[in-house]
Structure 1
Amino acid sequence: MSYDPKSPGNPADEPPTLPTDRRAGCPFDPPAELTALSDEPVRRMRYADGHLGHLVTGHSAARAVLADPRFSSRYELLHTPLPIEGLSGQLPPAPAGDITGLDAPDHTRYRRLLTGKFTVRRMRQLTERVEQFTTECLDAMEAAGPTADLVEAFAQPVPTLMICELLGVPYEGRERFQSQVATIFDQTADAAAKGEAYTALLQYLGELVLAKRAEPTDDLLSDLTASDLTDEELAGIGGLLLAAGLDTTANMLGLGTFALLSNPDQLDALRADPGLAGQTVEELLRYLSVADPLMRSALEDVEVEGRLIRAGETVTVSVQAANRDPHKFPDPDRLDINRKATGHLAFGHGIHQCLGQQLARVEMTVAFPALLARFPTLRLAVPPQEVPLRDRANIYGVISLPVTWDKE
């Protein structure tokens, strides 16, 4: 059989699996095997269960797949590139309220309801709360200093408190909420503990939904109780917003600070001009791409960049590689806060693009300059190679970030 570049691949070659190993001393760079594929934007890949699908690493190919309705997001149609602990066989369908695992028209119904809740007024209100929570966390960090684990003291609590604010979690319930969240996202916790915490969290969100139905307040869950969504769907949406908006932002704050501290010229530039905060956030989103990869399944035969993807085949889109594609971003492996990182895919693309992206931007745009202004001498408290990384988690980042500063 001769090789056809438009066929599923060369049968004489064994397709690779998803590269996951980062080079030692390069905590911010994707696996070298991924970025080396920029001239082959779509290629064959073998999945954890033996399925032969595709890996997309090129920026334009990634946008094409993520925007094409001929590719499905339904979990039960997908094959996973890596084994999932506790799962054997096919992925289950998306639970109630989880719009990330749905296609139109089911996805459209949820999305339309949710999009209208992220209003300019609510974002303005939440900006004031981000500033307040950021200040409170920095106050506590300074009082306990001059050393801290930035993840525990700052990166984790700021977005956790913001999710509480968005969902309307009352103050008396926040300690319980935060404890369950910490277990779910604890990389050292076993699957059973995480499962128990997630079940308890959904139970709590169910109780919260009932409380909002009985006595609405000014928050997203209360707004949604006026819709035709069931209690189960509302609790599921709460869980989705938690999963999508907390761990990602927390790791962007932790890993982003690590990246800035490791690039003193960029750190100094941001300190000198806090007005670069918004641009810095976009470049960090591109440079770090903590939420990776994204998966889709072809509903029919589709050709992408000259490669035929057959119906039923799973496509893994590497956001990390796409955001380091030199055809889109010149000198992509350099952190440059003066770069116009327009068009990065850190929030995805197409109908599943992150709903809460504006809130995430607000949190980071407030948090990074505030942290650097409060602690002008902030630096790592350990050698960079001793910073523990979440290199086997769904969301990449740091497990902890020991920092120190000079007391005045």
Structure 2
Amino acid sequence: LVTTRMNRILRIDTENLIAEVEPGVVTEQLQLAVEKLGLFYPPDPASLKFSTLGGNVAENAGGPRCVKYGVTRDFVMGLELVLPTGEIIRTGGETYKAVVGYDMTRLLCGSEGTLGVITKIIFKLLPLPDAKKTMLTIFDSIDGAAKAVSTIIGNKIIPTTLEFMDYATLQCVERRFNLGIPAEGRAVLLIEVDGDRDLIEKQATRIQELIKPLGLVQFRAAKDAAESEELWRVRRLVSPSLRDINPTKYNEDIVVPRSKVPDVIRAIEKIQQKYDIPIVNFGHAGDGNIHVNIMIDKDIPGMDEKAHEAIREVFQAALDLNGTMSGEHGVGLSKAPYIELELSPQQIGAMKAIKSALDPNNIMNPGKMFPWEEK
């Protein structure tokens, strides 16, 4: 079942700041359409140029701007859905307040296609920010970079993005692209603020003052859109650089409390040493969401098996720090075998009860979340 041909933006309501779309609309298509009207749809998954909004809702997709604006679920006001049994239901609506009955809309966001087929979505929109300011900051330690995150937010500045890259990531990018990253650099934060033009200039100055004592090696602030793109280039070059390590990548997306980022990175370093497998970490430090990239060569006997053992330990390390196994990618097939690490039998039982009630014949995306289910 594919809904990509259901790709119409049905309406954009500039008075009530909502948009109604079909599920096959590409994420960037909606963003560009509303920006022409001075409006803003913030969720920005890395796949925004080709991912569909229906898929974003089913996955509860995130992205770099989540630290300030939240994930897809925070912008979904209502849904039209075809249930597995054939009935059409509507959840939520066009009002910002609605407390009649269970909140089915939030339940369906992130359900990964296991509870029904989304046919229409009503999104909340925001006014488009006047301007944005991008800063590339390099630190001499992972602890300094992590402390910078909590220091910035603790001083009542909520950046649009706080992207993190560890030392292994920096080495990959520098080896291939020779960007001139200082040798003493051990971690990068790519910081962006948006809003009133005068305010963001003051915020950029204040951010530099706050993080300077934390082992700051380099601070670069973009003066215009072209310089902003150049600073973002460091982050965008990460993925193509990883292939220089090994051909196959297992990309996990654990989340820990912001203050625990150094702890989980150190735990991952120990796992890397234990299994002798390269692991590269980057992601959204503002909300503690770290993309753990386990790089392997499947042609090397036993390496794939070791990688899966390492993945289990990475998940457990996040859980031991009061985190979660996934902040954006969801469960699907790959994480289903590990779900019992995080969820109790009672939680899983409640989820199964919901699944059975809405999909008694298990026809919607079978095998996801509950791979041990027979029917």
TM-score (normalizing by structure 1): 0.23
Q: Which has the higher contact order (CA 8 A, sep 6+)?
A: 1
Higher helix share: 1
Higher strand share: 2
TM-score (normalizing by structure 2): 0.25
